[in-house]
Amino acid sequence: MTEPGGVDVWTVPLDQDVDAARWLSAAELRRAAAIGDPDGRRRFVVAHAALNAILADRLDLRPTALPLRRNPRGRPYLPGRSLHFSLAHAGERALIAVAGREVGVDLDHPRPGLDPRRMAARFFTPAEAARVSAAGAGAYAAYLRLWTRKEACVKAAGARLALGLRLPVPGAAGGAVVRDPSGRLPGAYFLRDLPDHGPFRGAVALAGTDPAPCRHREFHRDLRRAP
């Protein structure tokens, strides 16, 4: 179990086979079937099967029997439970965060055709845009580091990404408290960078100012078999 106030973060490889009917609810199976791209559909199925496996273990339920609901913004949650979670995926990798308070996790990697300096100048604070521009060959990594920090905070807040793009996010390797001076994103968030995996960058944020111990895990469940 996670240390009190902390968060568990699983890394999930998405290039695997899944017996979807054993791990996904009927609603999730319908969502998967509506994804036209086969690779996108596979990634959705694996990521949600892994999430359901993790939550089912915590709650001692069958993965297909999890009482998941969606709030008006479409965010899934477990009603009446003090168990919060967040899912992010990019390419063939996903991150799943589980905590005892509201949590947001984000993951990203370089994408062809995206200019990190232009994106930073358009969306980030002037100081952050200058940091990305000055990073030279590391501009894309610097951009992704800032982007994932912002999106992790937005997810923890349950808000729209547009509210967090100008959120100042300091260095967070050891953890940092983030607040929006404009007040557009309410509350405070304890933010941590996650370890790099090649070109991937990630971050996790929890509601509140209390320091959050973070335990990193690798997801090794065989999803072809019954729970």
Pick the CATH number of 7-15+82-218 from 1.20.1560.10, 3.40.50.300, 3.90.470.20, 3.20.20.70: 3.90.470.20
Phi and psi based region of residue 219 (left: phi greater than 0; alpha: psi -120 to 50; beta: remaining): beta
Residue showing tokens 């915590």: 58
Q: What sign results for the dihedral spanned by CA atoms 132, 133, 134, 135?
A: positive
Q: What is the pLDDT of residues 133-158, one digit of tens each?
A: 999 999 999 999 999 999 999 999 99
pLDDT in tens, 40-91: 999 999 999 999 999 999 999 999 999 999 888 778 889 988 899 999 999 9
pLDDT tens per residue, range 188-227: 999 999 999 999 999 999 999 998 889 999 999 999 888 8
Which residues lie below 8 Å from residue 179, measured CB to CB, with a gap of 6+? 187, 188, 189
Q: Give tens-digit pLDDT for 96-120.
A: 999 999 999 999 999 999 999 999 9
Give how far Cα 149 sits from Cα of 96, 153, 154, Å.
Answer: 15, 6, 9
Contact 121, 72 (CB under 8 A): no
pTM of the model: 0.94
